[in-house]
Structure 1
Amino acid sequence: MNEAALLNVFEAAHQRALKHQRPVVAVSSHSAPTLDPLVLYETHRQGFFWCAHSPSLTLFGLGSTWQIEATGPQRLAEVNRQWFALCADAVIDGPHPPLLLGGMRFDTQQPCAPHWAPFADASFHLAQWLLSEDGDGRWLRCQCVVEPGSDPAALAHASLAAYQQLFASPRARPSCPEAIERNALPAPQWQAKVANALQAIDSGELSKVVLARHVEYQLNATLDSGAVMRRLHERRSHAHLFALHRGDSCFIGATPERLLSCQEGYLSTHALAGSARRAVTPEEDLKVGADLSADPKELHEHQLVVQTILQGLTDIVSDLRAATRPELLKLATVQHLSTPITARLEAGRSLLDGIQALHPTPAVGGLPGPTAMSFIRHNEGFDRGWYAAPVGWLDSRGNGDFLVALRSALMTPGHCHLFAGCGIVRGSQPEDEYEETQIKLASMEDALHLSSC
């Protein structure tokens, strides 16, 4: 990393900051073919890690040179406003623009549980150093916010010191934890919640509601998020991976679901609803998939999600298209019905407008949306926090990608919280829905290795 080149970028940003009397973001990116995002995340076990497909992109961000936290129902509009105001006069050296990383709570109206306290309603960070890997190779970018009163030389010196920390020796690995206690609502009590949901559906109050489970492990040591991510990476199949750190807490997962992505003004998403287990033999697995694709209940649940996504996007897009039939998305322990959807953003609209329009989709909330959210608040019995909410990235050109944070766990010192849910519609059976959550929990429980180190 060339200090003189970095200083030139910071000095140019400082001149713009003085001219406009406001902060200016500066980015300098360089090819870094020998650096591996996953290896660096395993080493530091901090910051932000991301590994998504279609298109393939891996990110590792360390340090925070700027951040925004926003609360309430207008949180995304506030993030959008502040981010693009910051980027208006950006100084960009190299092919890559500034890129913001973060996520948000599922429900701003739900009281925040203590273990979710470090995770705000919406929280995004501009990493000081960001390593990306995609079809164009591996690139390392230095990102810095330069104020009118900043000293460019001091910023360059501090940035290079942080750069050296990227190559620091790995921190001592935490001892492999064992579970002291496992706390979860017993199956009969959770199934009674499903029965309550079915009563609301039969009465016409709801057509669908998603109910989740919360499993808490008390541990004798802290989990190693790097080792967990390595195991998730090795068995990721078609899942997208993410890890976001806030202080000593880490929210980590391997989700099958993309909420919305944007590339050069074009949006892509998919409706994901309807689930079945994976089978042991290829022949049996084909049959399970074929049965899922022909199941009237699962197809009905899936079509509800497709229709709601289309309705949600209608006012902000053009050229809105959905596949005529769902395809099968096969993961390690479960397979889903999936319908690809594409559209073009209207002028003046942003990716975060799309996120606001879609979240929560019926795949994680229900229908009608406000009624389902009220039912979840009053019946589910725990704070979802960032579970089932959007997590992702956004760059200064309006491109970005947000996942639905499913198949996930919140790791805190001495504890681990796991989450999984399923959609309840007419014809759902409480025992079957409980078994579906068990299948979905299995992928994270396997990766956590809580008692088999």
Structure 2
Amino acid sequence: MTTIDSEIDSIDLVADDAAARLLAAYEAGSSFLFSTPRGVLLARGVAATVPKTQCARENLPQRVSEFFNSAAEFGHRNPMVVGAVPFGNDLPAHLVLPEDVLRAEPLNVVVPQSPRSGAPDCEVHPVPAPAEYERGVRRVLRRLEDGELSKVVLARSLELTAAEPIDVRTVLKNLALADPASYTFAVDLPKRGEDGTRDSFGPQPLLRRTFLGASPELLVSRRGMQVRSNPMAGSRPRSADPAEDRRRAAELSTSDKDLREHAAVVEAVAEALRPYCCELRVPEPSVISTNAMWHLATEVTGELRDPATSSLELADALHPTPAVCGTPVHRAREVIAETEPFERGYYAGMVGWCDAAGDGEWVVAIRCADVEDESLRLYAGAGIVAGSDPADELAETSAKFRTALSAMGLDQAV
């Protein structure tokens, strides 16, 4: 396994196209891809899967630490796990020890519009239907008025069925090249109804289900003693008209509703990180953009108190933030379960990696899709707070769906 500072020597790469070559080398079912503004990571093969019994949400960082100790006994130097952690506690995390890890500098090629050729012929089924989603928003607003909570992130899903298997590799490439500043990921998952894990090291089963996306939001990263998080809350859809696009960004920067929503998320992130850090810096928010959305974002940085604190421990302490759940978190979870007519699974969970030294990077699993053969499920949510308008929240989820739909070559009203 290569380390952070080692040379990539397993593939003949040149500096200018190393990242693109790693992206091209991705194979669904046998690799993990994680493309960020700081670099591209491609993990190939599976030397071991963290046993399902060790992947329950409770005490997950400690259990992974025990797995690292076992991996070291089998001769793995500075082992790493990559994978996904679900939103709720009903599923275990899916984390694997890769056989090989390759790294490159960040992607620096931007394709202004995702390729449209070869778009699949898909049947699209929204869950819930748009009108029902708006009714759900109104029900949540009534509960906010009662004072039992201050925010709920309400999501909806699109279930797409194609005539032939979805080309995961092409969708992933389109996501990554359309917006290299996002955190593009692809994680192999067990097929629904299958375990997909083993309790021993050695050859592992090939998986044919993929969780992929292009998240704008860094949950947390740890490099040495340095910690960084970039919480987001408050957004506006982008516009093709430059003047209107600038107006929306300016409106977002002064919106009382969005600034209040954003401040609550940042406060929760800072509160979760503060016990682990001897110094924590929380600047004023800024407005950042993806291809589809404007977002309010705050880059929180700090320095760890204890070098034994891993990136997974930090991520576990943060997850789920109010940006994908609500406030207070426990009550918001209950309302989400009562209101959303589907299981979130790994949507709004976290995706990333952590090594035995504690370094790692985890992103919030949004702008994502769960792909299995001819079926694809998309997810998008909106933060419901006092003053939210059901039609606006529906429009926000539709705008967020565009990230994955465009990567598939689709452009239809949802």
Q: Same fold (TM over 0.5)?
A: yes
- 1:341 maps to 2:284: no
TM-fit CA distance, 1:87: 5.7
Higher strand share: 1
- 1:213 maps to 2:213: no
Question: Structure 2 residue aligned with 1:103, among 37, 62, 84?
Answer: 84
TM-fit CA distance, 1:44: 5.5
Matches of residues 11-26 of structure 1 in structure 2 within 5 Å? none
Distance 1:88 1:222 in 2: 38
2:24 aligns with: 39
Distance 1:48 1:58 in 2: 11
- 1:233 maps to 2:179: no
Secondary structure of the structure 2 residue equivalent to 1:363: coil
How does the TM-score come out when normalised to structure 1?
Answer: 0.77
Matches of residues 95-244 of structure 1 in structure 2 within 5 Å? 97-109=78-90, 120-134=91-105, 177-244=120-187
Distance 2:12 2:60 in 1: 35
Which consecutive unaligned segments of at least 5 residues does structure 1 have? 1-5, 7-27, 110-119, 136-174
TM-fit CA distance, 1:182: 2.6
- Higher alpha-carbon Rg: 1
Secondary structure of the structure 1 residue equivalent to 2:231: strand
Fraction of identical pairs, as percent: 30
Distance 1:355 1:45 in 2: 26
- 1:66 maps to 2:48: yes
Letter in 2 for 1:238: A
How does the TM-score come out when normalised to structure 2?
Answer: 0.84
- Residues 84, 351 of structure 2: 8 Å contact kept: yes
Higher helix share: 1
Question: Structure 2 residue aligned with 1:328, among 284, 287, 290?
Answer: 287
Secondary structure of the structure 2 residue equivalent to 1:221: coil
1:82 aligns with: 66
Quickly say closer, same or farther: Cα 1:87–1:268, change in 2 above 3 A.
farther
TM-fit CA distance, 1:125: 1.1
TM-fit CA distance, 1:33: 4.5
TM-fit CA distance, 1:121: 1.3
Secondary structure of the structure 2 residue equivalent to 1:392: strand
Distance 1:449 1:281 in 2: 21
Question: Structure 1 residue aligned with 2:389, among 422, 429, 433?
Answer: 429
Which consecutive unaligned segments of at least 5 residues does structure 2 have? 107-117, 190-206
Quickly say closer, same or farther: Cα 1:445–1:83, change in 2 above 3 A.
same
Letter in 1 for 2:80: L
More displaced 10-residue stretch of structure 1: 31-40 or 427-436:
31-40
Secondary structure of the structure 1 residue equivalent to 2:384: strand
1:387 aligns with: 347
Question: Structure 1 residue aligned with 2:226, among 240, 251, 266?
Answer: 266
TM-fit CA distance, 1:380: 1.3
- Residues 87, 396 of structure 1: 8 Å contact kept: no
Quickly say closer, same or farther: Cα 1:181–1:366, change in 2 above 3 A.
closer
1:378 aligns with: 338
- Residues 176, 223 of structure 1: 8 Å contact kept: no
Distance 1:190 1:65 in 2: 43
- Residues 237, 331 of structure 1: 8 Å contact kept: no
